[in-house]
């Protein structure tokens, strides 16, 4: 929420979300999910969470607890495209570390992942690279999700092609890798 116009638009969107869900079981989680999806950079900013807290009379600490408990929520701006690499045992033994190494050419990515962060977004906000503990698809290892599409038995050549396609704006070309 940078400008007052953005702030007003965000508040109108949040008010609409609240009006649809407030008072229903599980409504806080649903409202936060929808708020994140309506944000241009797919994250929950502090202004939006504070506004939600005030409008729903939910303690801000509870909202932050939910946002930090569930890995689905983002507290930092995300890229236009998301690549999630599984780091579970099966994926690790089948080469997911090599796939992450292949992505280390993205400026700042290697440093972020080496520092133990499980998420990195490029400065141009084109790509967010994340790791997860397990996708639960061990027989298909290594597994990578690109913008919600799961790819199995991913090779170094394929991940490089995915990166190239996303950077060139050819997202639809990734589907040929399956």
Domain boundary at 43, 69, 95, which? 69
Confidence at residue 55, expressed as pLDDT on a 0 to 100 scale: 94
- Residue 26's CB is within 10 A of a number of other CB atoms, namely 8
- Largest distance between two CA atoms of the chain: 51
pLDDT band at 2 (very low <50, low <70, confident <90, very high): very low
Instruction: Identify which has the larger pLDDT, 41 or 109.
Output: 41
User: Each residue of 64-107: pLDDT tens digit?
Assistant: 999 999 888 999 999 999 999 999 999 999 999 999 888 877 87
Q: How confident is the prediction for the chain on average, in pLDDT?
A: 87
- Contact of 108 with 120, CB cutoff 8 Å: yes
pTM over 0.85: no
Query: How many residues are there in the chain?
Result: 178
User: Strands 127-132, 119-121: parallel, antiparallel or unpaired by DSSP?
Assistant: antiparallel
Cis status of the peptide bond prior to 128, with omega within 30 of 0: no
Q: Could you read off the pLDDT of 35-64 as tens digits, one per residue?
A: 999 998 999 999 999 999 999 999 999 999
Residue 129 lies in a domain: yes
Of 117 and 100, the one with more pLDDT? 100
The residue segments making up the domain with residue 121 are 81-177
> Which one is predicted more confidently, 174 or 96?
96
Alpha carbons within 13 angstroms on the beta-carbon side of residue 42 total 13
Q: Is the pLDDT of residue 170 over 80?
A: no
Per DSSP, 72 falls in state: T
User: Residue 14 above 50 pLDDT?
Assistant: yes
- The answer to whether residues 96 and 65 belong to one domain is no
64 shares its domain with 96 = no
Query: 160 with 139, same domain?
Result: yes
Q: Do the domain assignments include residue 132?
A: yes
Confirm whether 29 is domain-assigned.
yes
Collapsing DSSP states into helix, strand and coil, what is residue 132? Answer: strand
Whether 104 is in a domain gets the answer: yes
75 falls within a domain? no
Q: Which sign, positive or negative, has the C-alpha torsion 86, 87, 89, 92?
A: positive
Residue 74 lies in a domain: no
Domain count, the chain: 2
Q: Is position 173 within any domain?
A: yes
Q: Are residues 100 and 31 in the same domain?
A: no
Closest CA to 154 of 174, 131, 173, 126: 174
């Amino acid at each position: 929420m940078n400008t007052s116009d953005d702030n007003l638009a965000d508040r109108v969107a949040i008010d609409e979300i609240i009006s649809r869900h407030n008072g229903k079981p599980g409504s806080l989680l649903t409202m936060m999910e929808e708020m994140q999806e309506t944000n241009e950079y797919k994250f929950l900013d502090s202004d939006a969470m504070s506004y939600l807290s005030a409008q729903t009379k939910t303690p801000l600490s509870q909202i932050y607890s939910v946002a930090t408990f569930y890995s689905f929520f983002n507290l930092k701006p995300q890229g236009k495209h998301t690549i999630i690499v599984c780091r579970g045992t099966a994926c690790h033994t089948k080469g997911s570390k090599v796939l992450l190494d292949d992505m280390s050419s993205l400026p700042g990515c290697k440093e972020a992942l080496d520092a133990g962060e499980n998420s990195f977004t490029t400065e141009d906000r084109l790509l967010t690279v994340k790791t997860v503990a397990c996708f639960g698809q061990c027989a298909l290892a290594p597994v990578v999700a690109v913008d919600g599409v799961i790819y199995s038995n991913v090779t170094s050549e394929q991940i490089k092609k995915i990166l190239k396609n996303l950077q060139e704006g050819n997202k639809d070309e990734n589907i040929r890798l399956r």
